[in-house]
Structure 1
Amino acid sequence: MASKAEKKRQHILKSGTEFILEHDFNALTLEAVANYAGISKGGLLYHFPNKDALLKGLADYVFEQYTNLFYEYAANDPVDKGKWTRSLIQVSNWDLENNAKLNIGIMATSMLDPNMTKEMSEGYQHMQSKIEQDKLDPVDASIIRLAIDGLYYSQLLNMAPLQKDLREKVITRLIDMTK
């Protein structure tokens, strides 16, 4: 069972995520997140002594959700061949639909401080290893992963992002490629 301090920390991270998704990444301040979470700024500072610490916490929190869903989707897939690649496709699609604003901020921040995303990079490398050993041609699985990366970058950087209906067709085609 989580301690009271850990529950408060998780509440702050959940609130920070919701704040960004509801408002905008540029509106993120320690005071704004504290108010949104219904706690004092001092209470927030106890867990996150500065904005960089909060941003790192949010990045870790979002990636932990992503990783947990990756494993959950794979565990629930009854077909062994391609399950990790399908899981990556599904979790990425979920993430694009639910965390896009937050991901933009994390990406922008990580460009300023690459150490911030070191753990995420290592976690994503682990996912790449899973799909390379997914009983699919590892080149095909990697092409699928790179297509997912392309969907992210086009949407997050607003570089000719696909309309939702076309993106859904692309996701369906990528899943079909894993069967």
Structure 2
Amino acid sequence: MGRKPTITRDRLLGVAEALVREQGGSALTIGALAKAAGISKGGVQYSFSSRDELVGSLVDRWTSRFDAMLDETPTNDPLGFVRSYIEAMRTAQKAMDAKIAGLMVSYLENPENLKETRDWYRGIFNRMTGASSNAQAARVAFLAVEGLFLLRINGIDEDGDWTSFLDDVDAVLTRLT
């Protein structure tokens, strides 16, 4: 009978996430992950054949967590959806700092990953379709939140203003509807 693995793929992703959080996306290499996890490079490559696969798996993990926060909103309620999106952003941002977000941006340099991300956004916009004023307000609020996300990647949250900006978007959305 073979040896039982000392570290799982999920545990490696947890170590990788901590490595990125502490040192930034450029520090994430197969060798650095092996060292941080206390295993050989071959042990890492058993789970992730390349850095690209490792980064893609991290992004998939984060996206799955985020999507799970949105799945409970009815698909025919654009305002409810965008409010859930704002709350999911609030929750996700507590766990994700700019270093991790920066790694996600570098992930988009691969055309296949960019297509997958575009498809994800198309799915999001499909949940806010229609010409009603509520659907329009939901789309504008969504775009504002996404703009805040991009600004946060560039360091806007140095003073902890992130959640107050989300509060502003939510307050304007309430006034519009």
- The TM tier, using the shorter chain, reads 0.7 to 0.9
Which digits, 9 at most, give the CA deviation of each residue in 1:126-166, with x for residues without a partner?
12222337x862111110011011101111134xx256554
C-alpha contact (below 8 Å) 2:78/2:135 kept by paired residues: no
Question: So what's the TM-score if we normalise by structure 1?
Answer: 0.78
User: How far does residue 71 in structure 1 lie from its aligned partner after superposition?
Assistant: 2.3
User: 1:97 aligns to what?
Assistant: 94
The correspondence of residues 143-154 of structure 1 with structure 2, limited to 5 A, is 143-154=140-151
Question: So what's the TM-score if we normalise by structure 2?
Answer: 0.78
Segments of structure 1 that go 5 or more residues without pairing to the other structure are none
User: How far does residue 57 in structure 1 lie from its aligned partner after superposition?
Assistant: 1.4
Supply the RMSD in Å over aligned alpha carbons. 2.7
CA distance in structure 2 between the partners assigned to 1:81 and 1:155 by the alignment: 25
User: How far does residue 36 in structure 1 lie from its aligned partner after superposition?
Assistant: 2.1
User: How far does residue 70 in structure 1 lie from its aligned partner after superposition?
Assistant: 2.3
Q: Which contiguous aligned blocks of 4+ residues in structure 1 show a shift greater than 6 angstroms?
A: none
Segments of structure 2 that go 5 or more residues without pairing to the other structure are none
User: How far does residue 20 in structure 1 lie from its aligned partner after superposition?
Assistant: 0.6
CA distance in structure 1 between the partners assigned to 2:126 and 2:78 by the alignment: 15
The correspondence of residues 1-179 of structure 1 with structure 2, limited to 5 A, is 8-71=8-71, 74=73, 82-100=79-97, 101-110=99-108, 112-132=109-129, 137-158=134-155, 161=156, 166-176=161-171, 177-178=173-174
How many pairs does the alignment contain? 166
C-alpha contact (below 8 Å) 1:132/1:138 kept by paired residues: yes
CA distance in structure 1 between the partners assigned to 2:78 and 2:115 by the alignment: 30
Larger-gyration structure (1/2) = 2
C-alpha contact (below 8 Å) 2:9/2:47 kept by paired residues: yes
